[in-house]
């Protein structure tokens, strides 16, 4: 089968489109013919060798896939051949066929097309877990979302509204990205390269600050976020795209009853996959009802994986970037 391999750690040029052996399935696995997969920032970190728990080259990158079940293991009870699914494969998703454990495979509603399905798993599952389960968002609360024009950002904006947020504020790195976050439903968007976002957030909330802050940037952005986190607020840290370390002072927490929480979708996928079943049902239901939409920025073929990585890494991308594998 055709697949893309990371041949060594490095830039996009280390991605090689080649032919590899078909994967074999275990008793509790399903074999999926991939229709499309998405490019996630974690794929780029893995290519550089910076992803926690990452593999050594050569390996197939990619975290999620949408496709059709071609075969099932002898102990699989939930799925059958021919069903449309999304899944988190065992050994990468940039390939014509992937193998996934039954527990990390989810049936697609008829109303959800393959492009939406391929774009949704990481961004929608992560956003829902962050807001509903980790931050425990309550109706009427104010939510601040950093990197609001990206895949998770635009999805989290929508889900925050669906879950009852009273005010949703986004931050972006450039003014040209502000329109993307506004289109997704943000009430206000702040360009943190031009403005002090903490001061802007306090001004928008009558000095109270945000009840929930989603931070995938880390470094100085994390530290500044504490300047606008409300009493009893929850700062959820789930990435470090800046490559910097953010420092938190314990004195900033106890008297204000504020919390700093960590979340990794990759860790949850590996250690507690059962927690994703309910998340999948909620998210896929919202997609089927078209209450939630996933913005697709650009589409590339599997052979163009290197160009897709270049585009995402350029920071020009908005929404999700897809690799189209088969029809």
Average pLDDT, stretch 118-142?
97
The three state secondary structure string of the chain is CEEEEECCCCCHHHEEEEECCCCCCCCCEEEEEEEEEEECHHHHHHHHCCCCCCCCCCECCCCCEEEEEEEECCCCCCCCCCCEEEECCCCCCCECEEEEEHHHEEECCCCCCHHHHHHCHHHHHHHHHHHHHHCCCCCCCEEEECCCCEHHHHHHHHHHHHCCCCEEEEEECCHHHHHHHHHHCCCEEEECCCCCHHHHHHHHCCCCCEEEEEECCCCHHHHHHHHHEEEEEEEEECCCCCCCCCCCCHHHCCCCCCEEEECCHHHHHHHCHHHHHHHHHHHHHHHHCCCCCCCEEEEEEHHHHHHHHHHHHCCCCCEEEEEECCC
Residue 93 lies in a domain: yes
Residue 274 lies in a domain: no
Same domain assignment for residues 228 and 134: yes
Residue 81 lies in a domain: yes
Query: Does pLDDT of 176 surpass 90?
Result: no
pLDDT for 282 equals 96
Residue 176 lies in a domain: yes
For the beta carbon of residue 42, count every other beta carbon within 10 angstroms.
20
Give the domain CATH number at 163. Answer: 3.40.50.720
Same domain assignment for residues 150 and 196: yes
Give the domain CATH number at 35. Answer: 3.90.180.10
Query: Does pLDDT of 315 surpass 80?
Result: no
pLDDT for 314 equals 84
pLDDT tens for each residue of 209-218: 999 999 999 9
Average pLDDT, stretch 161-190?
95
Task: Give residue for tokens 């008297």.
Answer: 255
Same domain assignment for residues 77 and 209: no
Query: Does pLDDT of 22 surpass 80?
Result: yes
Residue 285 lies in a domain: no
Query: Does pLDDT of 295 surpass 90?
Result: no
Query: Does pLDDT of 120 surpass 80?
Result: yes
pLDDT tens for each residue of 105-115: 999 999 999 99
Same domain assignment for residues 127 and 262: yes
Same domain assignment for residues 240 and 216: yes
Residue 288 lies in a domain: no
Same domain assignment for residues 135 and 256: yes
Same domain assignment for residues 132 and 116: no
pLDDT for 192 equals 85
Q: How many domains does the chain have?
A: 2
Residue 286 lies in a domain: no
pLDDT for 115 equals 95
- Give the residue, 240 or 66, on which the prediction is more confident: 66
Same domain assignment for residues 115 and 240: no
Same domain assignment for residues 218 and 241: yes
Residues pairing with 31 in the sheet: 71, 99
Domain that holds residue 227: 123-266
Same domain assignment for residues 139 and 222: yes
pTM of the predicted model as reported, rounded to 2 decimal places:
0.92
pLDDT for 56 equals 93
Q: What is the average pLDDT value for the chain, to the nearest integer?
A: 94
Same domain assignment for residues 114 and 131: no
- Give the residue, 133 or 326, on which the prediction is more confident: 133
pLDDT for 279 equals 96
Same domain assignment for residues 68 and 187: no
Tell which of 227, 251, 266 closes a domain.
266
Residue 277 lies in a domain: no
First and final CA of the chain: distance in angstroms?
Answer: 15
What is the crossing angle of helices 121-128 and 276-288, to 10°? 110
* CA gap 325, 223 in Å, rounded: 41
pLDDT for 244 equals 82
C-beta of residue 167 within 8 angstroms of C-beta of residue 187: yes
């Amino acid at each position: 089968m055709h697949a893309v391999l990371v041949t060594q750690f490095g830039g996009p040029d280390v991605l090689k489109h080649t032919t590899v052996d078909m994967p074999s399935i275990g008793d509790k696995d399903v074999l999926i013919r991939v229709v499309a997969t998405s490019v996630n920032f974690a794929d780029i970190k893995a290519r550089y060798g910076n992803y926690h728990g990452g593999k050594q080259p050569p390996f197939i990158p990619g975290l999620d896939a949408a496709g059709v079940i071609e075969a099932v293991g002898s102990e699989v009870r939930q799925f059958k051949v021919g069903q449309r699914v999304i899944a988190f494969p065992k050994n990468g998703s940039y390939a014509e066929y992937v193998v996934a454990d039954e527990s990390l495979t989810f049936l697609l509603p008829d109303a959800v097309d393959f492009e939406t399905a391929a774009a949704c798993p990481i961004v929608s599952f992560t956003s829902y877990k962050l807001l509903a389960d980790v931050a425990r968002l309550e109706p009427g609360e104010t939510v601040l979302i950093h990197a609001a024009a990206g895949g998770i950002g635009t999805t989290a904006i929508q889900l925050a509204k669906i879950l009852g947020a009273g005010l949703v504020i986004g931050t972006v790195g450039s003014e040209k990205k502000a329109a993307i976050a506004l289109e997704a439903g943000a009430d206000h968007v702040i360009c943190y390269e031009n403005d002090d976002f903490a001061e802007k957030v306090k001004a928008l909330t009558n000095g109270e600050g945000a009840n929930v802050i989603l931070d995938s940037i880390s470094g100085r952005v994390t530290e500044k976020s504490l300047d606008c986190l409300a009493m009893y607020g929850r700062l959820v840290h789930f990435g470090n795209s800046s490559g910097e370390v953010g420092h938190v002072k314990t004195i900033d927490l106890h008297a204000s009853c504020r919390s700093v929480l960590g979340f990794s979708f990759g860790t949850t996928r590996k250690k507690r996959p059962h927690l994703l079943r309910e998340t999948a049902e909620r998210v896929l239901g919202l997609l089927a009802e078209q209450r939630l939409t996933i913005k697709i920025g650009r589409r590339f073929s599997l052979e163009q994986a290197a160009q897709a990585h270049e585009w995402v890494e350029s920071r020009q991308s908005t929404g999700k970037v897809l690799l189209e594998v088969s029809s």
